[in-house]
Amino acid sequence: MPPLFYACTAETKRKGRCQNDAQVEGRCLDHPTAPRASQPDMIQVELHVNLEQSQGLELGGIPRRGIYEGIPPKSTQVFGAYGLARVQISHAVQEMRENGYGAEEPSLLQRDETMDILVLPFSRTSSSRDIPAGVEQFLCVTWGYCKVLVAPNSEDGRVIHIVNCAHKLSFPPLYELSFEEGLWGVKEPSETRP
């Protein structure tokens, strides 16, 4: 089952990604031959957790770092404004690690009265620490909603992608997110979960 929308994989000015829906072989009609979007320098995984979960994470040593500022405006939404439903991201995280992205220190940001955001950055400059067990469990669940965003180019020129997941579910995924060298994609779930 393909996603309803998939952003054209062409690179735009300043290392962004085209916002048009892909029509033919991952490209919009304007960009059949343009260079492909650059791989990210950093991937920020942002997971919505409820206050009970964030308290548990905080007790487990995950630091608080202030208030969540939301998704950067003008980001390209790889799977469209609605993103993917019922998706598992553990496979993509594994691929990221195989591609040389190491985990940086996770942190918690305050979102609103009921939810916090668990932030888990991956970068190519990190010395790849272990992901704490308390965090790892959130990477293996099914997420009700998942948006993948290519942020507009930052001032220092780094390419930043965001994987934003909300609404943890207790049933099996419809999709498995795949990294695909920063172009992102979806696959059929490879394992059945209870």
In the complex, minimum distance from the CB of residue 29 to Zn ion, in angstroms, rounded to a whole number: 8
Helix (H, G, I), strand (E, B) or coil at 55: helix
Closest CA relative to residue 176, chosen from 168, 188, 184, 165: 188
Beta bridge partners of 88: 176
- Interacting residues with Zn ion (CB under 5 A): 8, 10, 18, 20, 28, 31
Q: How far is the CB of 163 from Zn ion (least distance, A)?
A: 22
Q: Which is nearer to Zn ion, 18 or 96 (CB)?
A: 18
**Least distance to Zn ion, CB of residue 31, Å:** 3
Residue among 29 and 140 whose Cβ is closer to Zn ion: 29
The nearer residue to Zn ion, 10 or 151, going by C-beta atoms, is: 10
If phi > 0 it is left, if psi is from -120 to 50 it is alpha, else beta; for residue 106 that is beta
Cβ closest to Zn ion, residue 27 vs residue 91: 27
Closest approach of Cβ 9 to Zn ion, in Å?
Answer: 8
Helix residue ranges per DSSP H, the chain: 51-59, 90-98, 133-139
